[in-house]
Amino acid sequence: MQQVALDVPGVRPREAERAVTSALINLPGVQWAATSSPTGVVGIRFDPAMTELNDLLDAVEAAGYPSTS
């Protein structure tokens, strides 16, 4: 497993937090995703053999909140 932290500045409201977490957790190989509204940071644990970093970034952007990481 690998862990990453993504900077997602627009993920401040609770609805944004749920949308981003849901988009990530539905990807294959993602074990968990946690979003911190106060900091705009999303922590993710995933299996890099099943999901690549670009897949995570694409999922966050598709949820409407592009990452700056």
Say which CATH topology domain 2-62 has: Alpha-Beta Plaits (3.30.70)
Q: Is the pLDDT of residue 56 over 90?
A: yes
Instruction: Please state the domain extents for the chain.
Output: 2-62
User: Percent of the chain, pLDDT > 90?
Assistant: 64
**pLDDT of 2-23, one tens digit each?**
999 998 887 777 778 889 999 9
- pLDDT for 57: 95
The mean predicted confidence, pLDDT, of the chain is: 90
Q: Is the pLDDT of residue 39 over 90?
A: no
- Name, in order, each residue with C-beta under 8 angstroms of 45's C-beta and a sequence gap of 6 or more: 1, 2, 3, 30, 31, 32, 33
Structure tokens that stand for 31 in this block: 């074990």
